[in-house]
Structure formats: structure tokens, C-alpha cells
Structure 1
């Protein structure tokens, strides 16, 4: 199976142009198909339950990887909009959870204004293009996360995986 990497490479751009008739905006005006991979297949599609981040023994990706588990059919998250998300964050290699909105309650969400730099770049980029009702796996290399510095429970150089549910889009 394949993975789509972000930011778009020439290959992704070519695929986006080829898939223009498929629908589904990515927020930049290009239509992009986001195929499901083995990682996404291991994530629950039940949006009423907290997902778990699976461990991976595959080499960590060097670019942002975005995989839809459930495609939403509501409003799209675009730059400048404020979104409310539920999420679980874990480490790529072990799947060990380091943060989760679910641990604070099933209705707890995180508000993020896309394009405002409120969260790490990979998290923001991974949400862009989602639609309300969707669940997405976002695998973030350290360069788009916290880099080489330790941040709380996250060691420098960590590849992070977030499973994100898009609950609401406003603005």
C-alpha cells in the first residue's frame, strides 16, 4: 500500500492533478487522494472511542504522512478556520501515548486556528484538508514536531503519531 507525503512533492502534485475529478479539496485548491496504509488500518473507525496509536517497526518517515481512517463529510478545515479536534498522541516506534484529549474526557476538544502557529507545524499541516466527522493519522518527523529539543515527556528527535478526529470547523 502507499503513503502520501506532505508537503507535496512532484509526485504528490502529479497525483493531485491526475485526481482532480475525484473531489475532496486539500485546502490549497488541489484535489488529493489520501490512500489508507497499514498504520491507518490498525486504527479504530469508531469515533465514539479513544483510538490507540500502534507501534511500528518500519523505518520512521522523514516527511509528514497523512492517512485518513474515516473520511468526514462535513465542513473542511482550511487555513484561517478554527477547528475543534479530539486527539491521541503517541511515539512512532512504541505507540506509547504521551498526550490525549480523550484522557481529559470524551467531550474534551482542542481548539486550533489553522495558520496561526498555535501547535507544531506537522499537526497543523496534517489537519488541513480534513472534513468534520473524519479521523486521520498524522505521522510527524521531528523536524515538523519539536526538533532535537526535549519537550516534557517528548525526547528530542522523536517521530510522533497523532490520531485526530475533526469535531468542528468555524470561521
Structure 2
């Protein structure tokens, strides 16, 4: 085989390899920037209390929630969550924005945006909002994947609702985090 033919084959191989790499990089960025992925729920911890929601950027899921879905129902703005007064003795739900969708049932997979603070101090504990941009969170409700306060307070609410959920420490993450106040935007339930 001539040197010219070998060089031509080598150049063709390098060009094919570069094309494959370019396609893979393009697919990677297209998938990463797709915006319709949400985190999945974490498994219960060893203390038998369910773990807190996974930060939105930590674990992708194939849930079909988008920021457009929350915008369509008036939930496109990050909520301003204010602390409460007194001790929280039971899970309480207050509808802040009425939803018009289906009623959430235990066992469904929900997609939500949320913000949680310490009920008494107002200290931010966690949020699916970053710099005013929502990163929806997806989990199964009513089956022990989430804290008992969510499993009790979210079923029965309507998709498209923004609710304030006050949860006593015993039904949340324990005394170290204290009583909590969540504002939850219910984007979808399937």
C-alpha cells in the first residue's frame, strides 16, 4: 500500500473521529440544556425519617415538567416565604394560589417547585429556585419517599396550586431543623 493511500486513510479516520466527537458534544449540550429535567426523590435515611428533597441540580429524572408549565398556572415567580409565629403542632395547609387541575392523589408522581424555611426564624433551609429560576423537583407522594408532612398535606390539593405547608419538626426532619414552612407549587401529578 502506498504512503499516499495510508495518509489519506489516516486523515479520513481522524476526520471521522472528530465528527463523532462533535456530534456527541452537541448531543450532550442539547440534553443538558433541555430544561425539562427534574430531580428525583431520595431514599429514606437510616433514621427512618425520609431525606430532604434532593437539590434540583443534583439528580436528573425523566419527568416532563417545565418552567412553562408552572408559568401557565401563574406560578412562574419565586415565592417570598415569611416565618410564622408560635409552634406548629399539626400539618396545616393554606392555599395561596388556587389550582384548577386534577386533585393530587397518594401514589402519584408529582412535580413541584418548593421553598422551605425554618418556621420560627425564617432561615432558608432549601429551595428548588435558584436566582429566580425554577428547577422542578419530582417524587412520588404518599408512599414514604418524602417527609410525612408532605405525604399528609399535598394529597387532596389541585395541580396548579401554590400552597403554604406548615409542618411540625416531628413530621419533617426532626428537632435539629425545627418546625418548617414550605411554599409548594404543584406543577403536575401523574
Give the TM bin, normalised by the shorter chain: 0.5 to 0.7
Which runs of 5 or more residues in structure 2 are unaligned? 1-72
Match of residue 86, structure 2, among 41, 55, 59: 59
Residue pairs, 1:83-94, within 5 angstroms: 83-94=110-121
1:104 Cα deviation from its structure 2 partner: 7.5
1:72 is matched with which residue?
99
Match of residue 128, structure 2, among 101, 105, 109: 101
Pick the structure with more helix per residue.
2
1:166 maps onto 2:157 in alignment: no
- Please list the CA deviations of residues 28-74 of structure 1 after superposition, one character each: whole Å capped at 9, or x if unmatched: xxxxxxxxxxxxxxxxx952111122123x21121111110011010
Please give the TM-score of this superposition, normalised by the length of structure 2.
0.58
Q: CA 1:113 to 1:105, structure 2 compared with 1: closer, same or farther past 3 Å?
A: farther
1:147 Cα deviation from its structure 2 partner: 2.2
1:48 maps onto 2:76 in alignment: yes
CA RMSD of aligned residues (A): 1.9
Please give the TM-score of this superposition, normalised by the length of structure 1.
0.64
Runs of 4+ in 1 over 6 A off after TM superposition: none
2:142 is matched with which residue?
115
Report how many aligned residue pairs link the two structures.
118
1:107 Cα deviation from its structure 2 partner: 3.8
- Please list the CA deviations of residues 2-28 of structure 1 after superposition, one character each: whole Å capped at 9, or x if unmatched: xxxxxxxxxxxxxxxxxxxxxxxxxxx
